[in-house]
């Protein structure tokens, strides 16, 4: 279908039926491939690669926020005329996806081990084919204008080849190595985890103070620990070299390890914090990251006391076979019984948990593959410091530098089956490793054929770190890579700055010798209205698809954009979505009114640059439009999305609807007059630009309204974004119009404060000593009277203000409205007294609940918070009631 044929009727529907409208426009956009990237020579390039959602994923509110913001940027730059590419794709999510399919198999009475590796991987591919596209169908309904024909998957053939290429290159450069090291081990997922895949949760535990006696039976040291089960792997006691309390004990002094019968030596190391506890530390090199490094420095034995299931092994002696936590309980009981436990106390501390299954992780020595990240990290830091990559907001710079300064080598091997299998083959004959992009038939070192590929797969983040260039065809030299790499901006939540963003920086700079993106925009995380993390268990999850079904995609998009201030937290409230749904209704109704009048002239043309209308209100409207265009462009260019939304909201609701449309109604109904023609031309100019400004945020409704404006029109999404027109700037006209609006607003405010009936006609006087301003007020007397609902309006140079009059001051203009004849004071006081009694009764009831400790302690926190909000609201209403009573009494 040709876009110019989309306008089929002159009238918009009476009501805004978002569901039908959004489905219809989505189908048209997709059918006409309007989202496809263009690669026109000579035009600037703008590109984004989507942060790949997990293939297991469904759309959550964080996805909706981040992808809405990206879509705004893409639609904006497409309208600027840039060659625009937005690459969609999904992440294979190794651990998460394997867990999903393993749970399916368990329900069937099977397991991956029963299937075998090849059959299990085939089963996962089958699951991906059936379920893996769910989130993209949902993203389409949100209106995302990705180039859907370029969808990528981290395990598709091209990306898999690229992963092998990078692995081999880094290995050959000595930046990837294999060796024993202490890693974060998840006993549930049976895999190693990178440091940033461990989530630290505050948990209630116990701090156990244990006596380690000297081996000769003398008084030893007291050591505090939260993990007494790891005592079985202790190989030393450590103190600070300058700690006076232990100067009498020479290095090597033997201590008896409680419950084990072993002796362990004293070592001295400046790592030990003298101020913590007794200043003595138990050293367990096999089960603590810092102890491991202590052990390396002092050549200590590494005693591993549990297996990869978290079950105590043969090194645990009589505790063999116990789960680690059951072992903890048994050891504490035995320490008490044998007199080693000095005391125990409640202790709340951060416990590392697997980011996928939330099982408590264990430091564990294992043979793993690592990336030596220091050389790569240094390049990333330099890129940010030099400004080649800019982080927005820049409050995250310091956090980035701190994390990169303390970065450890990246453990990239995972002990699962779903993922990119490590392209390394172990030779049983010579014991060496062959690393190759293609499957070798013999060992590269000895020529033997007895080789076997590594069982482990690569960390999912390894392939995702290559995303900006592998999605564009690397290692081939493609047109896309030449035009769109580096990408323009990376938008994501700040919580994966180190999971993903930093790693893309490191890989892009090293492999491509260029930054992967120019800008990084880190948006806040979405919480509920009370600032709590959303979770199904607490019942506070806002499902974007439910919101789209209830309010429409545009309303959800506008809400997310309006909330997207640069910070750490967004508090989402469904009432705000309802509020922005009303805003879209306001736009719709304004458009219905405008379209009805604009089609009175079939050949109507908008004002072009260099032209402008004569009428003051029309000049003012184009001046306000100019200002809004400039401010919106600046907001989008600087990733201040909420400012862009606020500017559009204020312009449409207040300038266009509340003022301009109301002001020009009388002219529009003068069918064939010059006034009507000028009003229609201005209105068309304003509506065209307004729809363009709003389109990146609310694409569906704006595309629909655009198609009903006069003239044969292509897609709005392909129309040029508005630019400020110098000839439309009119500071003098803006000042004059501001005075008129302030006077009207002042008269309306007097009406509101006096609580006059909406239909009541007032008699007003404007006292204006300035002759020029008085002349302006006289010229627009009729407009002021109409919009302020005044049956009489006197404009004088001087005058007195009666005691019974409402009064306001606008600059040097005094507004005077006599009120006595407009109000039945006695009746109003009776009404206010009845209202006060009801408010006091309701506030007393709620306050009684809040003063009841049983209610505040036992009721859900959200319920208590709502009651507190009601109490605050009722108190405010009572205050307003008192003010109204005082005003009425003053008029008696």
Cα-Cα-Cα-Cα dihedral of 679, 681, 686, 687, to 10°? Answer: 100
**Structure-block tokens of residue 575:** 């009432």
Q: Rg (Cα) of the chain, in Å, rounded?
A: 35
Tokens 């002796």 belong to 263
Rounded Cα–Cα distance for residues 870 and 878 (Å)? 12
Cβ atoms of 566 and 67 closer than 8 Å: no
Helix (H, G, I), strand (E, B) or coil at 627: helix
φ/ψ of residue 149, rounded to 5:
-75, -10
φ/ψ of residue 44, rounded to 5:
-65, 155
Give every strand in the sheet of 390-392, ordered side by side.
Answer: 390-392, 517-523, 487-493
Residue count of the chain: 892
Q: Give 1-6 contacts, CB < 8 A, sequence gap 24+.
A: 1/28, 1/31, 1/32, 3/32, 3/34, 3/713, 3/714, 3/715, 3/718, 4/712, 4/713, 4/714, 6/707, 6/713, 6/715
Q: Residue 165 CA to chain centroid, in angstroms? A: 33
Rounded Cα–Cα distance for residues 487 and 464 (Å)? 15
Find, among 315, 272, 308, 274, the residue nearest to 290 by Cα.
Answer: 272
Cβ atoms of 534 and 503 closer than 8 Å: no
Whether the upstream peptide bond of residue 486 has omega within 30° of 0, thus cis, is yes
Rounded Cα–Cα distance for residues 615 and 619 (Å)? 6
Rounded Cα–Cα distance for residues 476 and 783 (Å)? 68
Cβ atoms of 183 and 192 closer than 8 Å: yes
* Cα angle 231-237-242, degrees, rounded to a multiple of 5: 150
Rounded Cα–Cα distance for residues 464 and 500 (Å)? 7
Residue 118 CB neighbours (<10 A): 9
Element (H, E) at 805: strand 805-810
Sign of CA dihedral 836, 839, 845, 847: negative
Rounded Cα–Cα distance for residues 506 and 512 (Å)? 10
φ/ψ of residue 201, rounded to 5:
-115, 135
Q: Where are the beta strands (DSSP E) in 81-161?
A: 83-87, 89-90, 152-153
β-strands 413-414, 221-225 pairing:
unpaired
Residue 178 assigned as binding residue: no
- Whole-angstrom CA distances from 60 to 54, 99, 234, 449 are 12, 20, 45, 50
β-strands 790-796, 762-767 pairing:
parallel
178: left (phi over 0), alpha (psi -120 to 50) or beta: beta
Cβ atoms of 66 and 491 closer than 8 Å: yes
Cβ atoms of 259 and 334 closer than 8 Å: yes
Cβ atoms of 324 and 217 closer than 8 Å: no
Write the CB contacts of 542 (distance below 8 Å, at least 6 apart in sequence). Answer: 61, 526, 528, 534, 572, 574
Residue 204 CB neighbours (<10 A): 9
Find, among 639, 370, 377, 372, the residue nearest to 508 by Cα.
Answer: 377
Q: Which residues are annotated as a binding site for ATP?
A: 536
Q: Which residues are annotated as a binding site?
A: 536
């Amino acid at each position: 279908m040709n876009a110019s044929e989309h306008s089929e009727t002159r009238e918009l529907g009476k009501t805004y039926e978002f569901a039908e409208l959004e489905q219809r426009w989505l189908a048209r956009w997709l059918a006409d491939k309007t989202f496809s990237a263009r690669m026109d020579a000579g035009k600037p390039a703008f590109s984004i690669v989507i942060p790949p959602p997990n293939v297991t994923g469904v759309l959550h509110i964080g996805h909706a926020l981040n992808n809405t913001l990206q879509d705004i940027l893409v639609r904006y730059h497409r309208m600027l005329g840039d060659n625009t590419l937005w690459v969609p794709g999904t992440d294979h999510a190794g651990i998460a996806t394997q867990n999903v399919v393993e749970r399916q198999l368990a329900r069937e009475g099977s397991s991956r081990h029963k299937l075998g590796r090849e059959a299990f991987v085939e089963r996962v591919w089958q699951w991906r084919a059936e379920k893996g596209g769910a989130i993209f169908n949902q993203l389409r309904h949100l209106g995302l204008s990705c180039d859907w024909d370029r969808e990528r998957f981290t395990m598709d053939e091209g990306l898999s080849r690229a992963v092998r290429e990078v692995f081999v290159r880094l290995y050959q450069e000595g930046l990837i190595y294999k060796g024993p090291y202490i890693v974060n081990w998840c006993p549930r997922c049976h895999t190693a985890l990178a440091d940033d895949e461990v989530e630290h949760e505050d948990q209630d535990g116990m701090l156990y103070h244990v006596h380690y006696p000297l081996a000769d039976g003398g008084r030893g040291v007291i050591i505090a620990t939260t993990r007494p089960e790891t005592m079985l792997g202790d190989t030393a006691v450590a103190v600070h070299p300058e700690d006076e309390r232990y100067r009498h004990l020479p290095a090597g002094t033997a201590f008896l390890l409680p419950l084990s019968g072993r002796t362990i030596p004293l070592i001295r190391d400046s790592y030990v914090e003298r101020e913590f506890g007794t200043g003595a530390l138990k050293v367990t090199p096999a089960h603590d990251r810092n102890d491991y490094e202590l052990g390396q420095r002092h050549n200590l034995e590494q005693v591993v006391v549990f297996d990869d299931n978290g079950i105590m092994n043969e090194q645990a002696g009589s505790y063999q076979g116990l789960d680690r936590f059951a072992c903890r309980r048994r050891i504490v009981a035995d320490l008490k019984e044998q007199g080693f436990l000095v005391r125990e106390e409640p202790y709340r501390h951060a416990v590392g948990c697997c980011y996928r299954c939330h099982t408590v992780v264990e430091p564990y020595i294992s043979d793993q593959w690592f990336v030596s990240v220091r050389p790569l990290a240094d390049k990333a830091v330099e890129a940010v410091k030099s400004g080649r990559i800019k982080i927005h907001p820049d409050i995250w710079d310091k956090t980035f530098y701190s994390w990169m300064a303390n970065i450890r080598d990246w453990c990239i091997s995972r002990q699962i089956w779903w993922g990119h299998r490590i392209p390394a083959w172990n030779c049983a004959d010579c014991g060496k490793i062959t690393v190759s992009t293609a499957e070798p038939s013999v060992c590269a070192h000895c020529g033997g054929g007895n080789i076997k590929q590594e069982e482990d797969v690569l960390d999912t983040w390894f392939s995702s770190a290559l995303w900006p260039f592998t999605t564009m065809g690397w290692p081939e030299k493609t047109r896309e890579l030449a035009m769109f790499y580096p990408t323009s901006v990376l938008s994501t939540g700040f919580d994966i700055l180190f999971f993903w963003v930093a790693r893309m920086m490191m890989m892009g700079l090293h492999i491509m010798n260029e930054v992967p993106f120019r800008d990084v925009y880190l948006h806040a995380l979405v919480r509920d209205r009370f600032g709590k993390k959303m979770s199904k268990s607490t019942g506070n999850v806002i499902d974007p698809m439910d919101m789209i079904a209830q309010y429409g995609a545009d309303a959800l998009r506008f809400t997310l954009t309006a909330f997207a201030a640069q910070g750490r937290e967004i508090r989402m409230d469904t009432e705000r979505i309802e509020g922005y749904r009303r805003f879209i209704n306001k736009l719709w109704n304004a458009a219905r009114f405008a379209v009805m009048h604009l089609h009175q002239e079939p050949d109507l043309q908008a004002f072009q640059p260099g032209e402008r209308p004569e009428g003051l209100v029309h000049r003012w409207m184009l001046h306000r439009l100019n200002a809004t265009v400039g401010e919106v462009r600046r907001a989008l260019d600087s990733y201040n999305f909420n400012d862009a939304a606020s500017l559009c909201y204020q312009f449409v609701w207040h300038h266009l609807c509340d003022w301009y449309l109301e002001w020009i109604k009388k002219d529009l109904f003068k069918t064939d007059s010059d006034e009507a023609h000028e009003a229609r031309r201005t209105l068309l100019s304003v509506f065209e630009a307004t729809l363009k400004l709003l389109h990146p945020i609310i694409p569906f409704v704006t595309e629909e309204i655009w198609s009903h404006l006069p003239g044969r029109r292509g897609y709005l999404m392909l129309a040029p974004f508005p630019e400020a027109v110098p000839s439309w700037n009119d500071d003098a006209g803006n000042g004059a119009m501001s005075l008129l609006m302030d006077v009207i607003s002042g008269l309306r405010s007097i009406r509101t404060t006096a609580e006059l009936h909406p239909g009541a006609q007032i008699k007003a006087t404007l006292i204006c000593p300035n002759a020029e301003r008085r002349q302006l007020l006289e010229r627009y007397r009729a407009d002021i009277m109409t919009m302020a609902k005044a049956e009489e309006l006197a404009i004088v140079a001087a005058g007195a203000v009666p005691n019974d009059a409402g009064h306001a001051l606008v600059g040097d203009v005094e507004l005077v409205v006599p009120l006595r004849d407009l109000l039945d004071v006695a009746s109003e006081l009776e009404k206010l007294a009845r209202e006060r009694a009801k408010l006091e009764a309701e506030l007393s009831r709620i306050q009684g609940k809040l003063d009841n400790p049983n209610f505040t302690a036992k009721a859900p926190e959200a319920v208590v918070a709502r009651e507190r909000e009601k109490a605050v609201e009722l108190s405010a209403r009572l205050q307003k009631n008192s003010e109204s009573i005082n005003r009425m009494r003053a008029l008696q």
